[in-house]
Amino acid sequence: MKVKLNREAILRSKLFWAVVAEVLILLVGFIMRPDFLSVQLMTLADGSRVLFGTPIDILNRSAEITIIAMGMTLVIALGGTDISVGALVAVSGATALKFLRWDVLEYTTPGDYTVYPFVYVLVVPLLACTVMGLFNGTLIAKLKIQPIIATLILMVAGRGVAQIITNGKQFTTQYSPFKFIGGGSLFSLPFPIIITIAVVAGMIFFVRRTSFGMFVESVGINPSASRVSGLRSDVIIIIVYIITGFLAGVSGLIYSSRISSNDSNNAGLGYEMDAILAVVIGGTSMTGGKFSMMGTVVGSLIIRSITTLVLYFGVVSEAIMAFKALIIAGVIILQSEPVRRAIARRSNKKKQLMGGELHA
């Protein structure tokens, strides 16, 4: 009886079907090209050794979305949304490059140096994005503005702020410590993967080993009841948006480090939609309430795996969005409550029939 209940719970789990979808995507790639899942250890010119291959590339290139989606999971668990995170990525990159290349008008050629101390390059962008997250949270929690409207302000204004920071210029840098963020390696893994692991582990610990995750779910399910019970729902909302702003800043540093430049027009473009999709695919309901951090990680990997798969097999870039939409639609339908219930009932009936035949 216990096994039966566990089986039904697994079949009705959105996380389970998200994992199944990711496995199927990787399996399709493997069937078409056996080297699709190959991983090798390569020695670089500086003597360091790093793993490379399609699975490593998927983990590496999904870092920005996964990190943002950690914050977006909590936002959606509150029943809200944040469409400003892509613009905050641009602000983070612009601020970092400004502190690296404040002298761009005097020295146009980028070099392996920074104008201001490197700690400023890291701290100021994160602080700026955190303050912007506070701005979003205050509008929503204190002024009771709808989340999509409140975050639309920075979605529109954020890239303008990034352009103002850099005077409309695109700065480039060759400063080694900064380039290491997006292009270095540690423990034979690309450094963005290490950052992602640290962020995911930290967020899971924060929401599951403290009462904060329970508070978020409580506010997401019923904000009024939470307030009546003595929970400061406005404080919870502000903290969640602060966290999301900070994580968008981290993603912005990784992005700008990868390209060794700020790109205020294109940095973080579409990240908000990918982050929301990752959260939904991972099993968190848009209506708020219970959430799954690990589900979000799997959702982010699914999105990146789809992109990698279609690029790997030479599909034209214009068709990537169509392929992504089709596959994601299939994953979401597979996760839908009616489909999961039907599969669970079918499995239960099959088991009962097999049990009856054996009994007879």
Q: Which of 143-157, 188-202, 248-262, 340-354 has the lowest mean pLDDT?
A: 340-354
CA distance 260 to 258: 6
- CA separation, residue 54 to residues 40, 104, 221, 305 (Å): 10, 37, 40, 9
Which residues lie below 8 Å from residue 104, measured CB to CB, with a gap of 6+?
169, 171
Residue with the bigger pLDDT between 18 and 82: it is 82
Which residues lie below 8 Å from residue 303, measured CB to CB, with a gap of 6+?
62, 65, 274, 277, 278, 281, 324, 328
Neighbours of 16 (CB within 10 A): 17
Q: What is the sign, positive or negative, of the torsion defined by CA atoms of 119, 121, 127, 133?
A: negative
- Band (144; pLDDT cuts 50, 70, 90): very high
CB 327 within 8 A of CB 116: no
Expressed in percent and rounded to 5, the helix, strand and coil fractions of the chain are: 70, 5, 25
* Mean pLDDT, all residues of the chain: 87
CA nearest to 64, candidates 219, 227, 254: 254
CA distance 339 to 342: 5
* pLDDT value of position 135: 97
The tens digit of pLDDT for each residue in 265-277 reads 889 998 999 999 8
**Bridge pairing between strands 185-186 and 189-190:** antiparallel
The tens digit of pLDDT for each residue in 3-47 reads 445 666 676 677 888 888 899 989 988 998 888 888 998 887 777
CA nearest to 8, candidates 334, 345, 317, 287: 345
